[in-house]
Chain A
Amino acid sequence: EAGVVQSPRYKIIEKKQPVAFWCNPISGHNTLYWYRQNLGQGPELLIRYENEEAVDDSQLPKDRFSAERLKGVDSTLKIQPAELGDSAVYLCASSPWDSQETQYFGPGTRLLVL
């Protein structure tokens, strides 16, 4: 069974530029999460989807961040414009509807904003 797939794995951009991250969850998992992990910190939830509906986006900085999960499968997280403080690892995770306490994490996208 394929795990959670994320791309790109690494991204370097200049501040004020836009950037997008893509996530393909494990097949059949209806819940998808985006986390941000700053250096030396634990992951922090940005947004959680149940199918195509964002059920918790309270921690998503909506002035510059946006996310979508069309058709309830893969998802895209966008930052526009990026700031220096956005440098972090962006992790995607998914879980099946009948075991939402178990989250399967992707390898993450490491973003560096210069």
Chain B
Amino acid sequence: KQEVTQIPAALSVPEGENLVLNCSFTDSAIYNLQWFRQDPGKGLTSLLLIQSSQREQTSGRLNASLDKSSGRSTLYIAASQPGDSATYLCAATGANSKLTFGKGITLSVRP
């Protein structure tokens, strides 16, 4: 059974700082790895999707990497802004497009 872990559960940084969010998974037989953003009281918004054959994906100030062999993914946020404050969840996609989510990291960017 796939298990996805995100540590720490919460992170607070000053505005402008570059930061890395970590995600680990136990079963390397994944189709892809996704990073989602969740704002309070809202649903999930997909940020980046990395296929199992890829090593990284970039979108604006966000860069996600994937190392299947070690069961790790990272989300890099450059020049963080207060508007980046949210909960970030990673999810590993297994057979039948089933997503297994981590518990998320709640990020607070201080002005």
- A positions within 8 Å CB-CB of B: 4, 31, 40-45, 48, 55-56, 91, 93, 95, 100-108, 110
Interchain residue pairs A-B with the least CB separation, the first 8: A42-B101, A105-B43, A105-B44, A100-B97, A107-B43, A106-B43, A42-B103, A43-B101
B86 on interface, CB distance cutoff 8 Å: no
Q: How near does chain B come to A57, taking the closest CB pair, in angstroms?
A: 12
Assess the A42–B46 pair: CB atoms within 8 A.
Answer: no
Assess the B104–A42 pair: CB atoms within 8 A.
Answer: yes
Partner of A95, one of B4, B45, B97: B97
Q: How near does chain B come to A7, taking the closest CB pair, in angstroms?
A: 13
Enumerate chain A residues within 8 angstroms of B104, measured Cβ to Cβ. 40, 42
Q: How far is the CA of A106 from the CA of B45 in the complex (A)?
A: 9
- B positions within 8 Å CB-CB of A: 4, 9, 31-32, 34, 36, 41-46, 49, 89, 91, 93, 96-104
Assess the B102–A110 pair: CB atoms within 8 A.
Answer: no
Enumerate chain B residues within 8 angstroms of A42, measured Cβ to Cβ. 4, 89, 91, 100-104
Q: How far is the CA of A108 from the CA of B4 in the complex (A)?
A: 22
Assess the A102–B103 pair: CB atoms within 8 A.
Answer: no
Q: How near does chain A come to B66, taking the closest CB pair, in angstroms?
A: 14
Partner of B31, one of A45, A101, A104: A101
User: Who on chain A is nearest to B32 by CB?
Assistant: A101
Partner of A108, one of B9, B43, B100: B43
Assess the A56–B4 pair: CB atoms within 8 A.
Answer: no
Q: How near does chain A come to B45, taking the closest CB pair, in angstroms?
A: 7
Assess the A91–B43 pair: CB atoms within 8 A.
Answer: yes
Partner of B99, one of A41, A103, A104, A106: A103
Counting chain B CB atoms within 10 Å of each CB, the highest count among A45, A48, A55 belongs to A45
Assess the B44–A43 pair: CB atoms within 8 A.
Answer: yes
